[in-house]
Amino acid sequence: MGRKRLQESADGRPTVHTVAARAGVSIASASRVLNGVGGSPETIRKVREAAAEVGYVPNAIARSLQSQRTGLVALAVEDIGNPVYVEMMRAIESVVAASGRQLLVHATGGRIDNETALLRRLAHRYVDGMIVSPIRVTDDHLAALVDSPVPVVVVGQLPADAPVDNVRTDSRTGVGLAVDHLVAAGRRRIGFVNGPLDTVPGAARDAGFRSALARHGIALDERLVEIGDFRYAAGRAAAERLLARAEPDALVCANDLIAVGALHALLAAGRRVPDEVALVGMDDTELAQMTFPQLSSVSLGSAERGRRAAELLLQRIADASLPPRREQVAPSLAVRASSTTTPLFVPAPAEPAPAPRTPEVTA
Amino acid sequence: MGRKRLQESADGRPTVHTVAARAGVSIASASRVLNGVGGSPETIRKVREAAAEVGYVPNAIARSLQSQRTGLVALAVEDIGNPVYVEMMRAIESVVAASGRQLLVHATGGRIDNETALLRRLAHRYVDGMIVSPIRVTDDHLAALVDSPVPVVVVGQLPADAPVDNVRTDSRTGVGLAVDHLVAAGRRRIGFVNGPLDTVPGAARDAGFRSALARHGIALDERLVEIGDFRYAAGRAAAERLLARAEPDALVCANDLIAVGALHALLAAGRRVPDEVALVGMDDTELAQMTFPQLSSVSLGSAERGRRAAELLLQRIADASLPPRREQVAPSLAVRASSTTTPLFVPAPAEPAPAPRTPEVTA
DNA sequence: TTGTATGCGTTATCAG
DNA sequence: CTGATAACGCATACAA
């Protein structure tokens, strides 16, 4: 006869039945003891003993099918090599962990199909909810987001009427902060190294740069604008192209990875930073403090956005009927050595220095 | 009466029953059509239509309970901010994706309890297998690894007799490569900035450094050895401490993050790199090519280790009866500007230059 | 407290 | 090809 109700699972590992049989009790009693609810002292002893002997470990999948939850939350980002996502992830992780859940990260590689596939697969109940930070948003993508089977919070720009929880920043204004700072420092030939214009952040930053220059009455020289992608190598290459045909006295970069690439290009070309060319990155990641000189960078509050996104998600998991919410985090500028010309080898002034700063690289 | 067999799931979302009822067929037929096996043209049409109308999406948890697999593979690493794990992750991802599975990453933060908790939770059937790269290994930890409910592959050093699939490298030898290189370049006062000695990699690198110096007959000056952790900030601080009390003519760092920190410390202290102090990192990550000057670095084949680990895991998932396997990846040295003193401002020689190299930072 | 029986949503088996 | 039904492993309402 076919196995009717054996005591072990298909792959030979122990189940509640194994434990129950061994302890000489029903599976209900076994289950209760294993979950710490009820059971006479004697039963508890027997079950615990049996469980230990067979090395019982509960099947989380089965448990989830029953409880309708997995205790898992996912974060989908484009490029896990970008430190901005690391910061965001850390912030999310701490919130998620505090709720007794576990955070899983999935790198989509920026391929939209990949991201929608994720929503259509992983999200189909493997996780209790997910936070996704899409770099491009198509209608298809948006549709998948909207009728996701599990709660979703989007970090990043989204159409105004999209009924999805959303935490955003204003990178357009953020770029403006960088330009204002540089203009105030007397720079006029300000260059811009951006990522692809067909991405949401790329388009926003481009608009921000142009409007900021206009606001200051500076005519934009298109030779001072160059585009790569949002990674180091392309940023460096783009900066090299720009430097080969123009002479900026400042460079704004669409993120810190690009800025580090640009810094490399500048130093390799013999330009002194910040004396000849000031440099401002964006995202204000760890990376900005690793370079020499350290990078000024526009903070888009990635940790804060992550934290808020996690909170929104947990709230929605708890109550699916909540209306779609939208939160915004304001950008700010972290000024460091890469955009601050200071007198060198000059005795410290009697008044306290404006801010602790590492020495300049130039002599 | 209590709901006997409704057509929708507990949370009101459609199930096979919903679709079947709407299409006027049995759940068996519905399931078959939904899975693309069998079904008359008419049935297929009706079911597809019904599924589309109600927006049916299969419950992956239920499916997994039945199929005994999730199609998910997890990678557990200590610090996702360390680029070495990013490289490893990318390699693993490509192998895993090629098998039609999805990779999830979990950052343990190096806390052992966290990692064992992961094994005891997530691994309890939420994933088909996992790759874990522990930085510390206790007996407890090892035990959890050994009798993990799902296939596990460990990347990193493990006791010789541990019955666990294992991909390792020899960082001890790796440090030796760095020292050899520096000694050959005429450096004698070689310093070492390491991570914690109670970690597996920390201990191995320490041993490697000491034995390498001994091999060259160089007496170790303990003032030239400093310890932080494996991250940037601590690396920089450790290098600063070292530089405050000793005058190395070269620095070996236990990973690239530390090396970048050391580079910052050196430049901030006005030391010229590599002329006054040569610098060699370890892991040969992207980061090594981002700095100026670019970092020489000992490659521990992190991508290769990741790739192999993923292959081992997939094999074991396919056949659990495989004996424990152990693979080793040899270290190699990538020489870049940070450890190569070249004549500056000298006309290019008639013969081709030894290798394309970015200009030195010093003048 | 304990055991029986049923459901979680899906897939697989086995008659019809 | 189709439909009823039995698993998958666990949790729990209910009756004893």
In this predicted structure, the answer to whether residue B344 has a pLDDT above a threshold of 70 is: no
**DSSP 8-state symbol, A319:** -
- Give the pLDDT of residue B125: 75
Residue B79's identity, in one-letter code, is D
Q: Give the bases of strand D that a protein CB approaches within 7 Å.
A: 1-14
- Give the pLDDT of residue B346: 40
CATH, domain range B72-169+302-330:
3.40.50.2300
Q: Tell me, yes or no, if A11 comes closer than 8 A to chain B by beta carbon.
A: yes
Q: Rounded CA gap, A234 and A246, in Å?
A: 18
Q: Rounded CA gap, A358 and A212, in Å?
A: 29
Q: Rounded CA gap, A15 and A3, in Å?
A: 15
The pTM for the full model equals 0.89
Orientation angle between helical segments A60-67 and B60-67, nearest 10 degrees: 140
Residue nearest to nucleotide C7 (CA to C1'): A66
Does strand D come within 7 Å of the CB of A27? Answer: yes
In this predicted structure, the answer to whether residue B242 has a pLDDT above a threshold of 70 is: yes
Instruction: Please state the domain extents for chain A.
Output: 2-58, 72-169+302-330, 171-299
Q: What is the residue-level pLDDT of chain A in tens, covering all 363 positions?
A: 333 445 777 677 899 999 999 999 999 999 999 999 988 999 999 999 999 999 898 999 999 999 999 999 999 998 888 999 999 999 999 999 999 898 999 887 766 666 777 777 666 778 999 999 988 888 888 888 888 889 999 999 999 889 999 999 999 999 999 999 999 999 999 999 999 999 999 999 999 999 999 999 999 999 999 999 999 999 999 999 999 999 999 999 999 999 999 999 999 999 999 999 999 999 999 999 999 999 999 999 999 999 999 999 999 999 999 999 999 999 999 999 999 976 444 444 444 444 444 443 333
**Out of B64, B263, B268, whose CB is closest to A358?**
B268
Contact A228, A257 (CB under 8 A): no
- Give the pLDDT of residue A358: 42
The A 28-47 residues near strand D by Cβ under 7 Å are: 28, 31-32, 34-35, 37
CB atoms A105 and B102 under 8 Å: no
- Give the pLDDT of residue B8: 77
Q: Find, among B355, B225, B353, B359, the residue nearest to B293 by Cα.
A: B359
- Give the pLDDT of residue A15: 94
Give the tokens for residue B280. Answer: 């060699």
Q: Give the bases of strand C that a protein CB approaches within 7 Å.
A: 1-5, 7-14
Average pLDDT, chain B: 89
In the structure, what pLDDT confidence band is assigned to residue B114 with cuts at 50, 70 and 90? Answer: low
Among A17-21, A24-28, B111-115, B239-243, the least confident range: B111-115
* Per-position DSSP letters for B95-131, written without gaps between them: HHHHTT-EEEEEE-TT-HHHHHHHHHHTTTTTSSEEE
**Out of A64, A122, A290, whose CB is closest to B264?**
A290
**DSSP 8-state symbol, B219:** P
Domain spanning B171-299: which superfamily?
Answer: Response regulator (3.40.50.2300)
Q: Is A132 left (phi over 0), alpha (psi -120 to 50) or beta?
A: beta
In this predicted structure, the answer to whether residue B111 has a pLDDT above a threshold of 80 is: no
In the structure, what pLDDT confidence band is assigned to residue B110 with cuts at 50, 70 and 90? Answer: low
* Per-position DSSP letters for B16-69, written without gaps between them: HHHHHHHHTS-HHHHHHHHTTS---HHHHHHHHHHHHHHT----HHHHHHHHS-
- Give the pLDDT of residue A361: 36
B72-169+302-330 and B171-299 in the same fold: yes
Give the tokens for residue B56. Answer: 């049916």
Residue nearest to nucleotide D7 (CA to C1'): B66
Pairing of strands B190-194, B225-227: parallel
Which CATH number is correct for A2-58, 3.30.930.10, 1.10.260.40, 3.40.50.920, 1.10.645.10? 1.10.260.40
What is the average pLDDT across B46-63? 93
- Give the pLDDT of residue A348: 42
CB atoms B107 and A125 under 8 Å: no
What is the average pLDDT across B184-203? 97
**Out of A64, A65, A292, whose CB is closest to B267?**
A292
- Give the pLDDT of residue A1: 32
- Give the pLDDT of residue A84: 96
- Give the pLDDT of residue A21: 93
**DSSP 8-state symbol, B360:** P
- Give the pLDDT of residue A122: 66
In the structure, what pLDDT confidence band is assigned to residue B244 with cuts at 50, 70 and 90? Answer: very high
Reduced to 3 states, what is the DSSP secondary structure of residue B238? helix
pLDDT tens sequence across B271-280: 999 999 999 9
Q: Which chain B residue's Cα is nearest to A272? A: B361
- Give the pLDDT of residue A295: 98
Q: Rounded CA gap, A314 and B11, in Å?
A: 17
Q: Rounded CA gap, A70 and A64, in Å?
A: 5
In the structure, what pLDDT confidence band is assigned to residue B234 with cuts at 50, 70 and 90? Answer: very high
**Strand C neighbors by CB, 7 A:** A 2, 24-29, 32, 38-40, 42-43, 62, 65-66, 68; B 3-6, 9-11, 15-17, 27-28, 31, 34-35, 37, 56, 58-59, 62-63, 65-67
Q: Rounded CA gap, B89 and B303, in Å?
A: 8
